[in-house]
Structure 1
Amino acid sequence: MKPHAFQSVDDGEMKIRRPMHRNDVSASFLVAIIAVAVLAIFVLAGQPIVSIPAGHLAVVDFFGYVPKDTISSGLHLKTLYAGVHTFSLKTQLMELTLNVPTNEGLIVELDVSILHRIDASMVRNLYLTVGSNYKEVVLLPEVTSTVRSLTASVASKALYSASRDELSAGIKDHLNGKLSGRGIEIEQALLRKVVLPKLVTNAIEQKLMAEQDSQRMEFVLTKERQEAERKRIEAKGIADFQNIVSQGISDALLEWKGIEATERLANSPNAKVVVVGNTKNGLPLILGDGSSNPNAHSSNAKHGAYANGNVDAFRSEGGADTA
């Protein structure tokens, strides 16, 4: 027989010992299990372990109390039911499309990109003064106000010309002056796209076309001036050539050229009439091919002879030597 557990029971002046049942033991064990489970749920619901991503920093808020020390990246134990607010220390990008004014009174559509990051030493102060939604509360309004303020002081041409770099630098310096005290650092302000009003765009295109036409006309005029200069140089060269050649021509050279011409005419197989003068340096005179009218040949020969003063050149019926 198994021994029985006994439980003391007061019954007046007598103490009666009665055995404990197995059901009473099971109930106590169940109560202990429930207590442990409730405690585990309570602990786990408080999230005692927190994981912070790389490049981030966290601030612990325990029902309004914020410790001075922040939590770096990695796994950490924290106070139960304390809130953890994570801030990224990486460079972040904010892109905006704004309708900004210029000093001409035009409204220009401008795409702006802001590269910014948070100073690690100012994370707790940023959480206490602004909160984790600092982009919507501080950064966005300051960027919008600064961009519109600076573009209103420049012409629309500065937004798409080389002056846009100066405007970007001005936006960056102006934002850093306002946000650096809160722990927000602006690394760069980029003006990505400028959309001008249609009227202004047409005017700019017409102006550029007029400038291109002016440059083209200037090129044509320059080309014509160069061509005129080339012709003057060419004419001067021809004149110099003729002057040099005329100085080299003598009477003896001309007489020799006449003799060569007479020989070539005499040896030519073509029908011709050649009148040769009787002077010392008389040159031949070609009157025709002698194929149609002999009388006309004779008349032309006589006329040529009289014109040259060579009357004695006629020795036959036509008064001309034929070859």
Structure 2
Amino acid sequence: MATRQPEFNFPKGGLFFIILGVAAIILFTKATVTIGPGEGGVIFESLGDGIDTEKTYGEGFHFMMPWNKMIVRKVRQQSISDEMNVLSVNGLEVKVNGTIWYEPEFENLGKLIKTKGQDYERELLDPAINAAARSVVGRYTPEQLYSSKRDVIEQEILEEVQGVLKDQYLSVTRVLVEDVKLPSTIRIAIETKLKQEQESLEYEFRISKAKKEAERQKIDAEGKAIANKILSASLTDKILQEKGIDATLELSKSPNSKVIVIGSGKDGLPIILGNQ
């Protein structure tokens, strides 16, 4: 005998509430957005004028009209690195590896995206960096690029980039030139020249040190000569007699001395005989 399955009666109006619930979930998902740390967002009004340039949304949970879209971008300081082929002042091609730190202006994020698009690094930042690097590097020789002018070049590139990006809603805070690659023959020649210059400086330092020591000894000798001259001029016969008497008294006190005074010597000083 077959077992009769229990009947399930779907509640009246249940399908309507299911559809309504699904629609509510979709609506809630479309109408909310969470902006993460270090990010900012601007609303794209699908039924309006596009990007809302008046307000930038910060970190946290936000509501919006479900037919709009929130465009979220990083607004904290970021960096990009690149290698550029540029020409030095004498026309030699060099490769410059550099890093640049930048950040969009938070309050003007909507204006930045509206005027330059979401990919504003490629549209705005890259051309500015390349133009500034070519302009600045083109003022220097390969030797200056390779050795002594690195800090100056970084500052000049930074100033030029900042000038190009003025009023463009994008701030550049620092430029770092990490490496300058020259053709091997040029690099070896520069390194050899720098080594020779260093050796020359060391040689000049040793010569200078020797001259200073000779000058010191000359001054010392002249000082002693002057002192002796002054001393000789101050030693009168009377002072010599007094010093001779003092010396005689000191010798007479010595246990190792045998002193016999007989008459007097020249200048009235006693004659002292010892067992030398």
Category of TM-score, reference length = shorter chain? 0.5 to 0.7
Distance 1:166 1:42, change over 3 A: same
Counterpart contact for 2:79–2:102, Cα < 8 Å: yes
Distance 1:220 1:144, change over 3 A: closer
Structure 2, unmatched stretches of 5+, are 1-6, 218-276
Q: 1:87 aligns with which of 52, 73, 86?
A: 73
Amino acid at match of 2:98: V
Amino acid at match of 1:49: T
Q: CA deviation at 1:71?
A: 1.4
SS at match of 2:135: helix
Partner of 1:105: 91
Q: 2:34 aligns with which of 51, 69, 89?
A: 51
Distance 1:116 1:33, change over 3 A: same
Q: CA deviation at 1:166?
A: 1.9
Alignment of 1:209-288 (within 5 A): 209-212=195-198, 214-215=200-201
Alignment of 1:1-323 (within 5 A): 26=10, 28-44=12-28, 46-63=29-46, 64-67=49-52, 68-212=54-198, 214-215=200-201
Q: CA deviation at 1:33?
A: 2.8
Distance 1:125 1:226, change over 3 A: closer
CA deviations 1:164-190 (Å, max 9, x no partner) are: 222211111111111131111110111
Structure 1, unmatched stretches of 5+, are 1-22, 231-323
Q: CA deviation at 1:222?
A: 7.1
TM-score (norm 1): 0.56
SS at match of 1:80: coil
Counterpart contact for 1:122–1:182, Cα < 8 Å: no
Question: Aligned equivalents of 1:147 and 1:100: distance in 2?
Answer: 7
Distance 1:178 1:219, change over 3 A: closer
Counterpart contact for 2:55–2:107, Cα < 8 Å: no
Counterpart contact for 2:81–2:100, Cα < 8 Å: yes
Counterpart contact for 2:89–2:140, Cα < 8 Å: yes
Question: Aligned equivalents of 2:173 and 2:35: distance in 1?
Answer: 25
Counterpart contact for 1:96–1:111, Cα < 8 Å: yes
Aligned alpha-carbon RMSD (Å):
3.1
TM-score (norm 2): 0.65
Q: CA deviation at 1:130?
A: 0.9
Question: Aligned equivalents of 1:75 and 1:88: distance in 2?
Answer: 16
Question: Aligned equivalents of 2:106 and 2:187: distance in 1?
Answer: 46
Larger C-alpha radius of gyration, 1 or 2? 1
Distance 1:223 1:51, change over 3 A: closer
SS at match of 1:174: helix
Question: Aligned equivalents of 1:153 and 1:113: distance in 2?
Answer: 20
Distance 1:59 1:200, change over 3 A: same
Is the deviation greater in 163-172 or in 204-213?
A: 204-213
Counterpart contact for 1:48–1:78, Cα < 8 Å: yes
Question: Aligned equivalents of 1:57 and 1:215: distance in 2?
Answer: 56
Counterpart contact for 2:37–2:59, Cα < 8 Å: yes
Count of paired positions: 210
Distance 1:40 1:155, change over 3 A: same
Q: CA deviation at 1:226?
A: 9.5
Question: Aligned equivalents of 2:51 and 2:203: distance in 1?
Answer: 75
Q: CA deviation at 1:125?
A: 0.6
Partner of 1:318: none
Distance 1:224 1:79, change over 3 A: closer
Question: Aligned equivalents of 2:103 and 2:135: distance in 1?
Answer: 23
Question: Aligned equivalents of 2:25 and 2:206: distance in 1?
Answer: 91
Question: Aligned equivalents of 1:40 and 1:224: distance in 2?
Answer: 92
